[in-house]
A and B are shown apart, each in its own frame.
Chain A
Amino acid sequence: DVKVTQSSRYLVKRTGEKVFLECVQDMDHENMFWYRQDPGLGLRLIYFSYDVKMKEKGDIPEGYSVSREKKERFSLILESASTNQTSMYLCASSTGGLKETQYFGPGTRLLVL
């Protein structure tokens, strides 16, 4: 079974803090994705990566950065957290082409005060 894990299920941070969200997958997948999910807005793609050290912007990259130093790990960084970044953050991974099945982690619910 594919396993995608995220470092925290719940996180509370203060405005202006730097926040790191970690995602690890154990299936040697090439592609990894970061989404955020908000009520009424559905799932929105923040960044994705199709190889180590490669990254591509999604639909809403502003205020975020990512790092992929190893194939199994994809980190999302909030450089200076703001209240409008309060959300559920979901990591996913897939193998092969970008249109292959994506498998999700359990999500991190981030609250920025």
Chain B
Amino acid sequence: DAKTTQPPSMDCAEGRAANLPCNHSTISGNEYVYWYRQIHSQGPQYIIHGLKNNETNEMASLIITEDRKSSTLILPHATLRDTAVYYCIVLGSWGKLQFGAGTQVVVTP
């Protein structure tokens, strides 16, 4: 199963865009990139996923490089409620989600 690498932490000012990078250099051709976030002591919340094209929904945008070895999650206008740990995951065999350490995002006023 492909592993991912994310920076451990990131600060973002409220109202600004937050760009969260993720490396997944061993990803296979049919593996999706998923993003979840987890606010302290709550269950993970699904954000977005993609295969090779860029994706956008009401929460975020996902930019995947052409070689698929890295991606960036963009929160267009960060709010204080976006403070959370963000996980980038490559969905492996049997649908098993493997969360790494993630990126702790702190949005400041």
* Physical interaction between A and B: yes
Q: Could you say which residues of chain B place their CB within 8 Å of the CB of A64?
A: none
Q: Could you say which residues of chain A place their CB within 8 Å of the CB of B46?
A: 101-104
Q: Could you say which residues of chain A place their CB within 8 Å of the CB of B42?
A: 106-107
A56: interface (CB < 8 Å): yes
A21: interface (CB < 8 Å): no
Decide: B94 and A48 in contact? CB cutoff 8 A. Answer: yes
Provide the bound-state CA to CA distance between A97 and B32, in Å.
13
Which of these, A31, A48, A99, A103, contacts B91 with CB under 8 Å? Answer: A99
Q: Could you say which residues of chain B place their CB within 8 Å of the CB of A56?
A: 94
| Interface class of chain B by DSSP | loop
Q: Count A/B pairs, Cβ under 8 Å.
A: 53
Minimum CB–CB distance for A26 against chain B, Å: 15
A55: interface (CB < 8 Å): no
Q: Which residue, B41, B49, B101, has most C-beta atoms of chain A within 10 A?
A: B41
Query: In the complex, how many residues of chain B place their beta carbon closer than 8 angstroms to a beta carbon of chain A?
Result: 19
A58: interface (CB < 8 Å): yes
List the B residue with the shortest CB-CB distance to A94: B95
Q: Could you say which residues of chain A place their CB within 8 Å of the CB of B94?
A: 48, 56, 98
List the B residue with the shortest CB-CB distance to A9: B41
A45: interface (CB < 8 Å): yes
- With A88-B41, A94-B95 known, 11 other A-B pairs at CB within 8 A are A31-B95, A43-B98, A48-B95, A48-B96, A58-B96, A59-B96, A90-B44, A92-B97, A97-B95, A101-B49, A103-B46
- 5 examples of A-B residue contacts, CB within 8 angstroms: A42-B101, A48-B94, A98-B94, A102-B95, A109-B41
Task: Across the A-B interface, give the 10 residue pairs with the lowest CB-CB distance, nearest first.
Answer: A98-B95, A104-B43, A43-B99, A42-B99, A107-B43, A106-B43, A104-B44, A45-B96, A105-B43, A99-B95
